[in-house]
Structure 1
Amino acid sequence: MRRVAAGALRTTCQCTVRGLSRIGGRSRRSIYLHQYQHQHYPGATGPTARRFSSSPLSLSPLPKKPPQQHHALTSSMYVRRLSVALVSGLVGYGAWYGYKGGNSSQAVGNSYSTTTTTTDPAGDATPTRNVLVVGAHELHTGTFVGDGPIAKSADGTGNNVLEMLTPGQATEKLRRNEASFMVNRGQGVLRYDVVQLASNNPIEDDHAEKIVEVASSSTGEAGDEANYDWMFWGVFDGHAGWTTSAKLRQSLINVVARELNTTYKAASKLGATPSPEAVDAAIKAGFLRLDNEIVHESVERVFKSNSKRAAAELLGPALSGSCALLAFYDSSSKTLRTACTGDSRAVLGRRSESGKWTATALSEDQTGSNPNEVARMRKAHPGEERVIHHGRVLGGLEPTRAFGDASYKWSKAVSDRLRTSFFSRGSSPYLKTPPYVTAEPVVTTTKISPERGDFLVLATDGLWEMLTNEEVVGLVGKWIENQATEQSGSQLGSLWSKMFGSGKGLPVEGGNDRGPGGQKTPIRQQQWGLSPNEERFVVKDKNVATHLIRNALGGKNEEQVIFFGNGQKTGEVLVNEEATSPPQPRPHAKL
């Protein structure tokens, strides 16, 4: 029996990163990958993939490299904000397309040639630059001759012409905001990796991570061997602004942790642990409590203050919106709960008896294209034909569940008063019986098997528009194989080779589990002409989140990878220097 005291919550680690934005209602593209190691983490989001292995050395630095200086995070709460690289998703895709050898036989225009010659800085030749040409029915590469500025419509045909990044520039942007953390708490999580690639400013997406140490009894103290961890990873896919996702980064994990603490305390008074249903209810209560604060309590405060300045400060998180995907791992029971509000997705990777990985979706995309969500919406709003119109709520919002998006939740009277007295978006002409959108998540529970090397990937919809569940899991498996190959002479390499093997192609079984019928498919593969063949995949990054985003490049993506395992128990969270970019200054906006 485990008891939780009133003061049982102690924050030991928090890392927050501003995320990516979504265009046309989808601004966030995020991924979390968590890895579990054999004896340490049961596990799981991402924005996640989690992996289990049994060796405490499974991700230690290579012995052949000079020793690295790991900087311990010693504070009781750690916050790390990574600067954001702003790069067009189209330009980013163009760089990848061009440098994977996609040459075109079509001339771009009078100013272009179809060769792929590059400028010789030492010679007198006319400088040339690679460009991407985007038309209504074509996508091809070419070479721009000359050193003048490249106009968007430089070829005079109506096509858009964009200068492509060099391979070095593309890699620099991919790695600019990567980070990796070694979690040496002896509770099952070994490592998590994160990377961001943004395409707009300000970024509308976010993510947050936190480890909460829980006392195992009413007399338990921080650092007690019998204590255990609650670990949280969240991906927040913002749209129509960044303020909602920023609010979730700041508050959601704390609110959910408080609800869980209350639930566990109530059960401990009866000498028991809470039921699974009670834990799920606590998570849902935390989501709904925060959304009520964002959408309704903010309006009450605005009306009370009668100040436009107060309205500007308070209504931002209500007027914009955000999906939320939260993974909660209880190290005492090796149970992972995934709470999904919106269309981000969590996929679990697990080793099968064949030695390959299998992909299992732990969440369902909640959109107007999901038959289950459509049925729910029509049942809640009978007789309203346009409750889902063209796959969107009232014809406008694609996610059917979200934080904020108050124009789908306020009554018409409230919307009109705010618009008249302060400012606000107008309500939909089809709005009759709000609220139409809810922040209540769907919670799934998974028992993690550390001894099988489980990992979890949490990602916003951008990743899943580029890669299938199986491809993502296979890419993580391939990355693991590559680590074993590079470290074949070390104890770590021998362990990984023994556990995970190596071979050609993606080490993943076919799509036996394609997930619920409402799951999105990687539509961008067809739109951008990407080859479904595994030949287009590469392994060249130390950060596995960067590895995923490199292979999915084509949208606004943020990825995080979390590894679970039995690392050295020092109680510290260490920055993994070889997979982390140097911190860069960035302007901060006040929320």
Structure 2
Amino acid sequence: MAIRTRFSRSFLFSNYSKSNFRNALGSRRNVQISRRACSKFQIPGYSLNVSRLSPNEVTSTIRANEYSQDFPTGPVKSYDTNQLASNNPIEDTRAEGKSLLSDAFLVGVFDGHAGAACAQVLAKRLFKYVAASLLSGEEISKLHTSLRDGGESRIIDYFNDRYEFVNELKSLYAQSFGKYVEDLASGQSTASIPNVPEALVTSFLRLDSDISREASTDLQGSKTLSVSMSGAVACVAVIQACHLHVATVGDCQAVVGIMTESKTWAAKKVSIEHNSDNMEEVERILSEHPPGEKTKIIERERLLGQLAPLRAFGDFRYKWSREELERLAVPRYGKTVIAPHYETPPYLTAKPDVMYHRITPKDKFLVIASDGLWDLLSPLQVVRMVGEHMSGRAALSPLRLPHNMKLKDINTILEQRKDGLNKVPVDRNGATHLIRNALGGSEYGGVEHSRISQLLSLPQDVVRLFRDDITITVVYFDSDYISHCPL
């Protein structure tokens, strides 16, 4: 993008530590990348002088942000997640949680641009909006009454969430959420049960609208304006029993790993990308503006020649009227904040496309990731890697045989475990396994230590030329639970 303004996480959070997200070796300057390696990344003639990292240093770096969570019951058996920064601070965020008011499990990846502020806010706020939208009319009325009477507004049980907004933002965001619940309560009958795709669309658009309103009415301005002028794409999955809904805004992707009848892995994409490769999306945008703008709206495969994703949260420099930009943004960011050929806004929306997938026992896992992963691996490669990782990890678990099992069946299980031992992974976390293979995978299989070492040793001022921030969450389904789900 033309605008690369950075907004420190400390503007938003009360206990932020940059060391949690900094590439452990990103500040090194002594790194050696050959001309041949650079040409492989299509930067001919670019040469760096650098040292290699040891295998232990590589492992320490890529495991720094990994996390795993197991569940005793329900459709989700466990999940693995990890992040690897390219930007400093990282512009990706992630969130996982369970609704305290329903059976919904939510997982999301948020890829920020022009700073990390908008993505950070989405990770902390969007699930509450979604969870409220998924309640029946009677349940939303109870929630509204509780909030009105000063009750607890915590409706999501987040996992691996270490941050809290600063008090002024916490209060402002609580007011916005309370007003949303009030509007939901006044607009629903007590018997209504929401349609999940509609609930996702409503919650996404309302949060984006609230971010705009907060920036334009908050007298303090600096923090809320920072959120509104940065942007983020999002991919959020809602799992309820055997039902999977995936809402996408932008170019994060989600894929389901399926074990076929022939015991091979298949990948099913359950997300829609909003970029210039999606011709339906390009045509949609062009159809919303006068024919005279047709050659100006998409230039160099970017919105107004600047923004790669064609849908996003925030980014109100592509949504507000010219008058609003002159009043709110120009005084702080200057005239260049208004894009060339800015004639008939809005050019951008946060409305998601929602895909539905009925989870079956053949569906073993879901992978959601930012485009930092998909730039390096295809959906099928990702599914095969996670599938092999599952087999290898299972071979290390204790063997428990049911009573009265036939010798032939026992022999089959032992043969499967023997095969799995040949695939025992270096990393127990599936997301870390993907990061290691995405950065170090060779054309002949396996991981080249020299390759991953070089990519992890790049100085901060050039690393973004070679790789993007990577955020991955792998959700493993419980096949036994799924097999008993009603049709």
TM-score norm. by structure 1 comes to: 0.59
Cα deviation for residue 429 of structure 1 reads 1.8
CA deviation string 1:521-573 (max 9, x = no partner): xxxxxxxxxxxxxxxx99311111111111112633122222222799xxxxx
Give the Cα–Cα distance (whole angstroms) in 2 for the partners of residues 479 and 158 of structure 1: 36
Contact kept, 8 Å, 1:133 with 1:139, in 2: the verdict is: no
Cα deviation for residue 131 of structure 1 reads 2.7
Alignment of 1:97-136 (within 5 A): 131-134=32-35
SS at match of 2:274: coil
SS at match of 1:261: coil
Is 1:564 paired with 2:477?
yes
Match of 1:375?
283
Is 1:205 paired with 2:92?
yes
Contact kept, 8 Å, 1:82 with 1:177, in 2: the verdict is: no
Is 1:428 paired with 2:339?
yes
Is 1:83 paired with 2:20?
yes
Q: Which blocks of at least 5 consecutive residues in structure 1 are unaligned?
A: 1-21, 28-79, 93-128, 141-156, 215-227, 506-536, 569-591
Kindly indicate whether structure 1 or structure 2 has the higher relative contact order, using CA contacts under 8 Å at least 6 residues apart.
1
Is 1:170 paired with 2:58?
yes
SS at match of 1:353: coil
Cα deviation for residue 487 of structure 1 reads 3.7
Match of 2:359?
448
Cα deviation for residue 499 of structure 1 reads 12
Tell me: CA distance 1:468–1:90, structure 2 relative to 1, closer, same or farther (3 Å).
Answer: farther
Match of 1:351?
259
SS at match of 2:386: helix
Contact kept, 8 Å, 2:33 with 2:47, in 1: the verdict is: no
Is 1:188 paired with 2:75?
yes
Higher mean C-alpha displacement, 191-200 vs 314-323: 191-200
Give the Cα–Cα distance (whole angstroms) in 1 for the partners of residues 90 and 203 of structure 2: 25
Tell me: CA distance 1:503–1:438, structure 2 relative to 1, closer, same or farther (3 Å).
Answer: farther
Give the Cα–Cα distance (whole angstroms) in 2 for the partners of residues 243 and 499 of structure 1: 51
Contact kept, 8 Å, 1:545 with 1:561, in 2: the verdict is: yes
Matched residues, number: 384
Tell me: CA distance 1:467–1:504, structure 2 relative to 1, closer, same or farther (3 Å).
Answer: farther
Match of 1:280?
197
SS at match of 1:323: strand
SS at match of 1:138: helix
Contact kept, 8 Å, 2:31 with 2:49, in 1: the verdict is: no
Give the Cα–Cα distance (whole angstroms) in 1 for the partners of residues 191 and 414 of structure 2: 41
Tell me: CA distance 1:135–1:289, structure 2 relative to 1, closer, same or farther (3 Å).
Answer: same
Cα deviation for residue 390 of structure 1 reads 1.3
Is 1:540 paired with 2:426?
yes
Contact kept, 8 Å, 2:318 with 2:348, in 1: the verdict is: yes
Give the Cα–Cα distance (whole angstroms) in 2 for the partners of residues 561 and 491 of structure 1: 27
RMSD: 3.7
Cα deviation for residue 130 of structure 1 reads 7.7
SS at match of 1:454: strand
Alignment of 1:213-228 (within 5 A): 213-214=100-101
Is 1:261 paired with 2:135?
yes
Match of 2:120?
246
Cα deviation for residue 262 of structure 1 reads 4.9
Alignment of 1:292-303 (within 5 A): 292-301=209-218
CA deviation string 1:487-520 (max 9, x = no partner): 474559x99x859957989xxxxxxxxxxxxxxx
SS at match of 1:364: coil
Is 1:138 paired with 2:55?
no
Contact kept, 8 Å, 1:87 with 1:200, in 2: the verdict is: no
Match of 1:462?
372
Tell me: CA distance 1:488–1:279, structure 2 relative to 1, closer, same or farther (3 Å).
Answer: closer
Cα deviation for residue 161 of structure 1 reads 2.2
Cα deviation for residue 381 of structure 1 reads 1.4
Match of 2:273?
365
Q: Which amino acid aligns with 1:324?
A: A
Contact kept, 8 Å, 1:252 with 1:287, in 2: the verdict is: yes
Give the Cα–Cα distance (whole angstroms) in 1 for the partners of residues 90 and 2 of structure 2: 11
Higher mean C-alpha displacement, 400-409 vs 205-214: 205-214
Contact kept, 8 Å, 2:325 with 2:338, in 1: the verdict is: yes
Is 1:437 paired with 2:382?
no
Contact kept, 8 Å, 2:136 with 2:191, in 1: the verdict is: no
Cα deviation for residue 485 of structure 1 reads 2.9
SS at match of 2:95: strand
Give the Cα–Cα distance (whole angstroms) in 2 for the partners of residues 355 and 405 of structure 1: 45
Tell me: CA distance 1:269–1:559, structure 2 relative to 1, closer, same or farther (3 Å).
Answer: same
Give the Cα–Cα distance (whole angstroms) in 1 for the partners of residues 363 and 413 of structure 2: 12
Contact kept, 8 Å, 1:91 with 1:165, in 2: the verdict is: no
Tell me: CA distance 1:477–1:23, structure 2 relative to 1, closer, same or farther (3 Å).
Answer: farther
Q: How many percent identity over aligned positions?
A: 34
Q: Which amino acid aligns with 2:341?
A: Y
CA deviation string 1:149-201 (max 9, x = no partner): xxxxxxxx8622232222111111011111111112x2221111111111222
Give the Cα–Cα distance (whole angstroms) in 2 for the partners of residues 329 and 91 of structure 1: 42
Match of 2:176?
none
SS at match of 1:315: helix
Q: Which blocks of at least 5 consecutive residues in structure 2 are unaligned?
A: 7-16, 141-186, 403-408, 440-454, 456-466, 482-487
Q: Which amino acid aligns with 2:233?
A: C
TM-score norm. by structure 2 comes to: 0.70
Cα deviation for residue 369 of structure 1 reads 2.6
